[in-house]
Amino acid sequence: MKKTARPPATKSAARASKTDHPAVEKLRTGISSLDIIAKGGLPKNRTTLISGTAGSGKTVFAVHFLAAGIALGEPGVFVTFEESADDVRKNMHSFGWDLAAMEEEGKLAFVDASPDPDVETVEAGGFDLGALLARVQNAVKKVKAKRVSVDSLGAVFSQFSDQAMVRGELFRIASALKGMGVTAVLTAERTDDHGPVARFGVEEFIADNVMILRNALERETRRRTIEILKFRGCDHQKGEFPFTIVPRGGVIVIPLSAMQLSMKSSNVRISSGNAELDEMCGGGLFRDSVTLVSGATGTGKTLTVGQFLQGGAAAGEKCLLLAFEESRDQLIRNATGWGFDFERMERDGRLRIVCDYPDLSGLEDWLVTIQQTITDFGPQRVALDSLSALENVGTLKSFREFVIGLTSFIKHHEITGMFTATTGSLMGGDSITESNISTLTDSIILLRYVEMFGEMKRGLTVLKMRGSAHDKAIREFTIGQGGMQMGRPFKNVTGIIAGAPMHVSPSDVERAWTQFDTDVGDRRRRAEDRAQS
């Protein structure tokens, strides 16, 4: 009776609500770029397990999660099983998080469950972790917490002998956390970067979502990555993403795939600082392009960069020079030799020179540091001399990621970039840098030594210029006061780029041209024009 009496509308509405069940809501964590790989943030009101080996950054992540939440106006509770609350407060100071102040403001509460070495404990009969749960609930209520971090689950197991009890109690606490309406991060240790998710084999079942932090040793360098293994019922980006932990910043994820999607492109041309080079490039470099200048040592890469900066400063732009090969004083002296006054440009606020040893930190850290410098200074041009110096700091993969990260960051901010790469051999050849990143850059300028009758000459060619016509000739250039003076194209010489220049008699050149029977006259005329100019 009742069934028939029910209007059909409600029935369909009920069905609709079943199929249109709202997707799992995400909580924006506020941790830079973690939200990008997590596609919006961590699943709201759920528990996420952060698993990693010793030193993989779990505690920093757990604290950062809360600190970022407090910055967004969401209070948090930190449950520590490992370090004492005092130690955590002290250790996190270097990241710029004043936890004691947050506690005073009533935005953060600690539940200190770390073992007390002064008190001897005896187990006599069955027990549960009811007091712990009561304390967590109390703390959540006290600060009206929206976020809870538990660090770490493994340490609970080591405090008690009855593992089965601990397991059961952790399940109870995890489900209680959900009931409290908080988004929780639980950390757990694992013994191996690529082994089971966590040491006790149960941690991953306690949480809805699992993220893994890795800190792998590759070629004597540490490489941190973060991977979202599972997000129950919602989407995330797959695979490992490099991340770094920096003072005054905490966890910074480098989301490569996300960066590449948002690149812009413009048709505005800017000067490379050398009118002839601009002409070779078809009218200048594109505003948000990245140019790779490749050549052997001494071919004039730093000079090309100097010109680029000088050109920027002359046009009233701000320029940033990241120098990994020469000291500041050396750079300034060399620039003076070419007629560029770097010191004055700096005084005028047009230039900032950052000189550092490439080995000072890992590539991920460099990327973050450089990005911060760019954000602070806000330049229109960025030059990096040289990429090859950074090549050996990390693995090839890290290096590629660094270049991808930097290129996309530069383009995203509509900055013109110029990187240099050193080739190993004096004549021709290419470098690891070049072969790995040439596809990532928009333009490539090759600088080469050309041996001619007992003399080393320098040649320049624009190898690639994405989205533009450019001069295909290899031109000679000289270096002197005022920088680079472009000369004629090398005639009667072949094999410059291959590193084996060979002289051919003009008649051979003539014959080569005539082998192609289309527009022979045209080509010849053009070649002659070029020779005359």
Partner 1 sequence: MVHLCDVSIGMEGYLSKYVLTLYVTGTSPRTRIAIENLNRICKEDLIGKYELEIVDVLEHPQRAEDERILATPTLIKQLPPPLRRVIGDLSDKDKVLLGLEVRPSSSSSSPNASSEAP
When asked if residue 173 is in the footprint of partner 1 (CB under 8 A), the reply is no
Interface stretch with partner 1, choices 98-106, 118-126, 223-231, 315-323 (CB under 8 A): 118-126
Of the two residues 113 and 351, which places its CB atom closer to partner 1 in the complex? 113
* Per-residue binding letters, 96-115, with partner 1 (x by CB under 8 A): ---------------xxx--
Interface with partner 1 includes 129 (CB under 8 A)? yes
Number of C-alpha atoms within 13 angstroms, CB side, residue 125? Answer: 0
Catalytic residue selected from 240, 276, 325, 346: 325
State both tokens at 40.
């919006």
The answer to whether 118 contacts partner 1 (rule: CB under 8 A) is yes
314 interacts with partner 1 by CB under 8 A: no
User: Which residues, listed in sequence order, are joined to residue 188 by a DSSP beta bridge?
Assistant: 51
φ, ψ of residue 439 to 5 degrees: the values are -75, -15
Nearer to partner 1, 160 or 513 (CB): 160
- Catalytic residue (one of 74, 82, 317, 476): 82
The answer to whether residues 24 and 44 touch, using CB atoms and an 8 Å cutoff, is: yes
**CB of residue 128 vs partner 1: minimum separation in angstroms?**
6
For residues 5 and 124, which CB has a smaller minimum distance to partner 1 in the complex?
A: 124
Q: Please, what is the minimum distance in Å from the beta carbon of residue 123 to partner 1?
A: 5
> CA 307 to CA 286: how far, in whole Å?
16
Identify which of residues 127 and 472 has a Cβ nearer to partner 1 in the complex. 127
Chain position carrying tokens 């191996």: 192
Smallest distance from partner 1 to CB 26, Å: 31
Characterize the bridge pairing of strands 381-385 and 455-465: unpaired
Cα distance between the two ends of the chain: 100
Residue 86 touching partner 1 (CB under 8 A): no
Respond yes or no: is residue 82 known to be catalytic: yes
Q: Which is nearer to partner 1, 173 or 465 (CB)?
A: 173
Give the whole-angstrom CA distance, residue 326 versus residue 323. 6
Q: Does 123 bind partner 1 (CB under 8 A)?
A: yes
325 is catalytic: yes
Single-letter code of the amino acid located at 31: I
Question: Which one of the spans 89-97, 119-127, 354-362, 475-483 is the region binding partner 1 (CB under 8 A)?
Answer: 119-127
Cis peptide before 152 (omega within 30 of 0): yes
137 binds partner 1 (CB under 8 A): yes
Q: How far is CA 63 from the centre of its chain?
A: 22
CB 104 to partner 1: min, Å = 17
Q: Is 128 in the site for partner 1 (CB under 8 A)?
A: yes
Query: Which of 130, 181, 239, 424 lies at the binding interface for partner 1 (CB under 8 A)?
Result: 130
Residue 144 sits at φ, ψ, to 5 deg, of 55, 50
How deeply is 104 buried, as exposed, middle or buried, from its count of CB atoms within 10 A (0-12, 13-18, 19+)?
Answer: exposed
Identity of the residue numbered 76: G
Least distance to partner 1 from the beta carbon of 377, Å? 47
Q: What is the DSSP string of 157-173?
A: HHH-S-HHHHHHHHHHH
Residue type, 208: D
Would you name the residues annotated as active-site residues? 82, 325
Sites of contact with partner 1 (CB under 8 A) = 111-113, 116, 118-132, 134-135, 137-139, 159-160
